Structure 1
């Protein structure tokens, strides 16, 4: 990985919530000797609020503004693995900053597995009816499928796609490293 040029100095992990970005990111960063930044966790640390609380108290638009500012800031730093939020690349300004400054790796997970991983989570603002209250099972399944259909074409613009279904984390990280090496060869 030493031969990364400036454009390649950032690796952005994208994918639907629950795809493993925040789990795989720090392990990948450690493996290749990069620093790791999780966009959502960084915003939480900077505000002292959870993403859910930001959505509730300040609104989704304010969260997206903070996200945009952070993404632009990160696009100017080097040797980073960045875990993006599930909706980060939907914003055209974010997508431009990300795609022009690094390699985008899409961690693709099928909607049925995402439902299995997310169906008890109350900390995902786009998946709750009212803050902290889960959608009914069928509503949640429909919401995940709707968001997936909307976001999939954006995620599919990634430089590298890794299917993560039912794979152990170590195997996924190894696959990402292998694909990065091939991409940069």
Structure 2
């Protein structure tokens, strides 16, 4: 049975950003730096279904995948001190977006279309970035497709409490910056919660 979200848990960190922005790489390192646990939502969906994300998209379609993704995201309800890496399109699905907004703190790893295209041009496991007929996109075609998808997704990405630019930055530097910002945010939120509780007495 799904656990309700009773109170926003500031130390429940949701990492968002486009495919290739570094969520799966940075997420475990950030969790280790904070002393938190880590969950990759795509990996959790694959574990639960025994199928790859590409196979789920191919066999069942995007709508079915978004529901499976939502179930995996909701599994962290009520947890704390956890970094959760979201799929690039998770926030587009309204039920997932609503849950994340109520449950924890959103962090956006922001990358430019050109950087993302460079990282993704040889990847074949990104269903939404495939060309028709299975043809591989050229670098220019891929960059344009990423730019168009980003235009749709970024309004929700930019709702994040913390945004870090990952272009031309070492992973270690990104993790250090995120750790500082998240620890400061969690301390501030915890102090505000404590003050609010004191006022309620």
State if a TM-score over 0.5 links the two structures.
yes
Q: Which residue does the alignment assign to 1:179?
A: 181
1:23 equivalent to 2:42? Answer: no
Q: Distance in 1 between matches of 2:151 and 2:104?
A: 25
Alpha carbons 1:9, 1:101 under 8 Å: kept: no
Superposed, which structure 2 residues align to 1:126-165 within 5 Å? 126-130=128-132, 133-165=135-167
5+ residue gaps, structure 1 = none
Q: Distance in 1 between matches of 2:80 and 2:134?
A: 37
Q: Once the 2 structures are TM-superposed, how far is the Cα of residue 77 of structure 1 from its aligned partner?
A: 2.4
Q: Which residue does the alignment assign to 1:44?
A: 46
Residue 161 of structure 1: SS of its match in structure 2? strand
Instruction: Pick one of 121, 124, 127 that aligns with 2:123.
Output: 121
Q: Once the 2 structures are TM-superposed, how far is the Cα of residue 134 of structure 1 from its aligned partner?
A: 2.1
> Normalization by structure 1: what TM-score?
0.92
Superposed, which structure 2 residues align to 1:34-73 within 5 Å? 34-73=36-75
Alpha carbons 1:28, 1:173 under 8 Å: kept: yes
Deviations 1:13-70 (A, max 9, x none): 0001100000000011111111100001111121121111110011111100100111
Q: Distance in 2 between matches of 1:62 and 1:32?
A: 34
Deviations 1:55-90 (A, max 9, x none): 001111110010011111223322210000000011
1:7 equivalent to 2:25? Answer: no
Q: Which residue does the alignment assign to 1:95?
A: 97
Q: Which residue does the alignment assign to 2:196?
A: none
Q: Relative to 1, partners in 2 of residues 1:166 and 1:131: Cα closer, same or farther, differing over 3 Å? A: farther
Alpha carbons 2:31, 2:38 under 8 Å: kept: yes
> How many aligned positions are there?
181
Q: Which has the larger radius of gyration?
A: 2
5+ residue gaps, structure 2 = 1-6, 189-201
Q: Once the 2 structures are TM-superposed, how far is the Cα of residue 142 of structure 1 from its aligned partner?
A: 1.8
Q: Distance in 1 between matches of 2:73 and 2:90?
A: 9
Q: Distance in 2 between matches of 1:179 and 1:30?
A: 15
Q: Which residue does the alignment assign to 2:112?
A: 110
